[in-house]
Amino acid sequence: MGNLIGPENLKFAPNLETIVCVALCLVLAIFMIIVGAIARHADPTKRPKGILLVADWAVEKLDGFVEENMGEGFENFGGILLGIILFVFSNFIIGITGLPTPMAYLPVPLSLGLVTFLLIHFTAIRYNHWKYFKRYVEPFPFFLPINLLSMWAPLLSLSLRLFGNALVGWVLLTLVNWGLGNASAAIFGAGLGFGTQGELFFVPIATPLLHAYFDVFSSFIQSLVFVFLTTLFVAQEKPEVDVEKETKLTSRKEAN
Amino acid sequence: MTDIGAIALAAAIAIFSSGCSSLGEAMLITKAIDGMARNPEAGKNLRSSMIIGAALVETCGIYALLVAILLIFVLPGSIVH
């Protein structure tokens, strides 16, 4: 066994998934900057047109979604949610072009899950301060190891959901392509004399449906589910306001 | 029993969980259609909630499929004779 830490192990050799993921991030960032510049220079008295209309609609919908699902105190959450939606959707749907899906490469969904995980815990610390650490010793201090283990459940469930969906879609498509290619090659290539082009006949019949389900539909639903779960996990960290105490305080104020 | 046979059996048992999740999904969709038939005005809300719930339930089946795929394709290569 050689030296694990050395210059020969620090070479920067990204695989295709990483390149696709970074390229998509760059494209999205440039697109966002352009839309932001257009929005900044637009005349607010005129009605929006073109890309600005779409952006306006998306921001309005997302703000409504945040207000409906998270309540007060989270008004500025629309931005990160839009970023997560666009990242998940674009990284999932790129499989339709034949490039490798970055979501089927575990570090990508795992880092996305880590972002949500940090968001959940920072929100909890922001609202509960020192009471945040109380959750690890509830109901008794004896539960500390169990609570420390269950702390990681949201991270694993969020990232493995994306990873599993993308990987299963990729594996099924590869299997169907391989099997139909072989069947078609046996019938057309050897039997009817089409040669090596014989394997192209059956595959286009079956793959559009599978692509439609595993790439288009799945990416749409999974990005929606990811954002929905993020809002739920983050919003439940805000402590419930004690209604009785609140009304007592206000009634006392009114009496004074 | 040979190693390959044991792996195949393990993959088949893992896929059983996928069947259970499909049962849960069927129950979910039945209830949602019941609600839609009883109250057609709430159909839009029910449909979107149903699709999100179905995606959540389906994840369990996809975990099972993932485990089965890993068992079939990864485990035989890692057994050293």
Q: Residue A128: what pLDDT? A: 82
Report the C-alpha gap between A89 and A81 in whole angstroms: 12
Q: Residue A210: what pLDDT? A: 85
pLDDT tens per residue across all 81 residues of chain B = 788 888 889 999 998 888 888 999 999 999 999 999 998 888 888 888 888 888 888 888 888 888 888 888 888 877 765
- Give the burial class of A124: count Cβ atoms within 10 A of its Cβ; 0-12 exposed, 13-18 middle, 19 or more buried: buried
Domain count, chain A: 1
Residue A244 belongs to a domain: no
Of the candidates A86, A84, A52, A79, which has an alpha carbon nearest to the alpha carbon of residue A63?
A79
Mean pLDDT for chain A overall: 82
Would you call B51 and A221 a contact, using CB atoms and an 8 Å cutoff? yes
Mutate to test the interface with A, among B47, B65, B70, B71 (most CBs of A within 10 A): B65
Residue A11, φ and ψ in degrees, nearest 5: -65, 145
Enter the tokens of residue A175: 């299997």
Residue A2 belongs to a domain: no
Residue A121 belongs to a domain: yes
Q: Which of A160, A171, A225 sits opposite B56 (nearest CB)?
A: A225
Enter the tokens of residue A63: 């703000």
ipTM: 0.71
- Residue in the block written with tokens 């006392």: A252
pLDDT (tens digit, 9 = 90+) per residue, A97-150? 878 888 888 888 999 999 999 998 988 888 888 888 887 887 778 888 888 888
Residue A255 belongs to a domain: no
Residue A252 belongs to a domain: no
Chain A hits for B62, CB-CB cut-off 8 Å, are 161, 164-165, 168
Q: How far, rounded to the nearest angstrom, does the alpha carbon of residue A50 sit from its chain's CA centroid?
A: 27
Residue A251 belongs to a domain: no
Enter the tokens of residue A241: 């306001």
**Residue A177 belongs to domain spanning:** 16-239
pLDDT (tens digit, 9 = 90+) per residue, A61-95? 888 888 887 877 787 888 888 889 999 999 988 88
Residue A90 belongs to a domain: yes
Q: Residue A1: what pLDDT? A: 40
